[in-house]
Amino acid sequence: NIEVRMPEVLGHTKDAAVSNLEAAGLVVGTVEESFSADYPEGQVCYQSYEAGTNVPQGTVVDLKISIGSEIATYNCNLITFF
């Protein structure tokens, strides 16, 4: 088995992450959306293998894409009652 180094895709867009993983000889598995306080909406906030580890070529890597922070903020000044 040929081993490849797991690329760092946290903070990348989904398309960039998929390109990097496929270029490394890896397979993209499940891609889900998830709340993340650490990564802005649209960025990868989870990868199923730690970056820098050696894994067999063809390993399936699952990703989660941030949909932003779970805590919504509302500006009450915009609400006007007549």
- Judged against a pLDDT cut of 60, whether residue 76 lies above it is answered with no
- Kindly report, residue by residue over 16-61, the tens digit of the pLDDT: 999 999 999 999 999 999 999 999 999 999 999 999 999 999 999 9
pLDDT of residue 81: 57
Rounded to two decimals, the pTM is: 0.83
- Judged against a pLDDT cut of 90, whether residue 78 lies above it is answered with no
pLDDT of residue 1: 82
Burial of 46 (0-12, 13-18, 19+ CB in 10 A): middle
- Kindly report, residue by residue over 64-73, the tens digit of the pLDDT: 999 998 776 5
